[in-house]
């Protein structure tokens, strides 16, 4: 721990020259690296305290800030953790920073489940840091959550993240391509969820440096039309879902209609697009009949 006076911290903040759009990142850095939240900082402004304990020194914060500004490295990778829903997850270069819009997936899944006392088998395909799978496994220990990812590093990290919150064994993490590790669950899955890579290659190539240089390409690139992985997931889903089981997918802002058409083609009914908090048709659900 590093002892810092609140005056020193406030002065340090004041001396950082930031563009307005980077202001939130500065506070996120102080929170995730220094362990001091924005609301605490605001309270120091109203009611100064003398000495606080920070997890890192102000010099170290300055160093990380420079790396954020010069190399566009996201704060979450600099601090190796991120907030997502009510979780604080460890992340690294092998996994995507879980996005705020994806938080809604857990709520959509919980709505589909309805009665939480049911025993269910739920899957999260392409789990990354484990965000979606962990949020659901923590909701109810009688649900079995099966999470897959093509990257063993992601599986290891998701396992570490789950252990931070639970000593139960209702989350099973399996390495492999989409449904492939789930052969023994064929026909038994109640709800399958995925936030797969869905960004069309041309769009991916023009993404910001902070994404392209730091986030794993395999978590984002959805091939020429962005639908490469979505197509594979939908096509294989009927082998793995129970009759009446749900498939819930996140998709790119303009893919909802195409995802709907694919689901219809592979035998899904009750297909619906659900808008995210920005009014974008971000999620598609369908029931396998
Ligand atoms: C958009 S990220 C989503 C990560 C996490 N579920 C989230 O919402 O933050 C997509 C994930 O799919 C994984 N992935 C990519 N190709 C895959 C494949 N063929 N089979 C399984 N997982 C794959 C990536 O490693 C990455 O973790």
pLDDT one-digit tens code per residue, 25-37: 999 999 999 999 9
| pLDDT of amino acid 162 | 98
pLDDT confidence band for 48 (50 / 70 / 90): confident
Closest atom of ligand 1 to 220 CA is: 1
Q: Which residues fall within 8 angstroms of residue 250, CB to CB, at 6 or more apart?
A: 101, 102, 105, 194, 195, 196, 198, 282, 283
| pLDDT of amino acid 47 | 82
CB-ligand 1 contact for 178 (6 Å cutoff): yes
Give φ, ψ of 195 to 5 degrees: -115, 85
Task: Assign 223 to helix, strand or coil.
Answer: coil
| Weakest-pLDDT range from 5-19, 82-96, 201-215, 262-276 | 5-19
CA angle 269–270–276, rounded 5-degree value: 125
To the nearest whole percent, how much of the chain has pLDDT over 70?
100
d(C-alpha 249, C-alpha 12), whole Å: 44
Specify the pairing of strand 81-84 against strand 51-54. Answer: unpaired
Distance from the CA of 15 to the center of ligand 1, in angstroms? 40
pLDDT confidence band for 220 (50 / 70 / 90): very high
d(C-alpha 288, C-alpha 268), whole Å: 4
d(C-alpha 18, C-alpha 23), whole Å: 6
Mean pLDDT computed over 76-95: 98
pLDDT one-digit tens code per residue, 15-28: 998 888 899 999 99
Q: Are 157 and 92 in contact (CB under 8 A)?
A: yes
pLDDT confidence band for 118 (50 / 70 / 90): confident
Question: CA distances (Å), 70 to each of 30, 54, 66, 178, in order?
Answer: 18, 24, 6, 36
Mean pLDDT computed over 226-239: 98
Mean pLDDT computed over 105-112: 98
CB-ligand 1 contact for 127 (6 Å cutoff): yes
CB-ligand 1 contact for 197 (6 Å cutoff): yes
Mean pLDDT computed over 237-249: 97
| Weakest-pLDDT range from 43-57, 117-131, 205-219 | 43-57
Q: Are 210 and 97 in contact (CB under 8 A)?
A: no
| Weakest-pLDDT range from 42-56, 64-78, 162-176 | 42-56
Pocket test for ligand 1, best of 218, 232, 249 (most atoms within 8 A of CB): 218
Burial class (CB in 10 A: 0-12, 13-18, 19+), 9: buried
CB-ligand 1 contact for 102 (6 Å cutoff): yes
d(C-alpha 58, C-alpha 55), whole Å: 10
User: What's this model's pTM, rounded to 2 decimal places?
Assistant: 0.96
- The DSSP call for residue 98 is P
| pLDDT of amino acid 49 | 75
Burial class (CB in 10 A: 0-12, 13-18, 19+), 255: buried
pLDDT one-digit tens code per residue, 272-281: 999 999 999 9
């Amino acid at each position: 721990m590093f002892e810092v006076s609140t005056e020193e911290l406030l002065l340090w903040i004041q001396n950082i020259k930031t563009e307005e759009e980077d202001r939130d990142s500065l506070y996120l850095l102080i929170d995730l690296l220094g362990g001091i939240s924005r609301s605490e900082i605001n309270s120091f402004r109203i009611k100064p305290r003398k000495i606080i304990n920070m997890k890192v020194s102000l010099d170290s914060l300055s160093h990380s800030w420079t790396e954020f500004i010069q190399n566009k490295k996201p704060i979450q990778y600099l601090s190796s953790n991120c907030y997502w829903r009510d979780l604080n997850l460890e992340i690294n270069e092998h996994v995507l920073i879980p996005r705020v819009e994806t938080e809604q997936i857990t709520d959509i899944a919980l709505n589909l489940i309805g009665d939480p006392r049911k025993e269910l088998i739920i899957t999260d395909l392409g789990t990354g840091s484990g965000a979606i799978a962990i949020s659901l496994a923590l909701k109810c220990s009688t649900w079995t959550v099966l999470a897959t990812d093509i990257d063993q590093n992601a599986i290891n990290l998701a396992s570490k993240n789950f252990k931070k919150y639970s000593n139960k064994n209702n989350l099973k993490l399996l390495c492999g391509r989409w449904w492939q590790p789930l052969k023994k669950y064929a026909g038994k899955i109640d709800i399958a969820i995925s936030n797969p890579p869905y960004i069309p290659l041309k769009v991916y190539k023009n993404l910001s440096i902070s994404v392209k240089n730091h986030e794993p390409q395999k978590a984002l690139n959805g091939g020429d039309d962005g639908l490469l992985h979505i197509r594979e997931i939908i096509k294989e889903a009927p082998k793995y879902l129970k009759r009446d089981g749900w498939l819930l997918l996140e998709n790119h802002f303009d893919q909802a209609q195409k995802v709907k058409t694919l689901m219809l083609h592979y035998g899904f009914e009750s297909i619906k697009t659900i808008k995210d908090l920005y009014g974008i048709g971000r999620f598609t659900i369908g029931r396998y009949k």
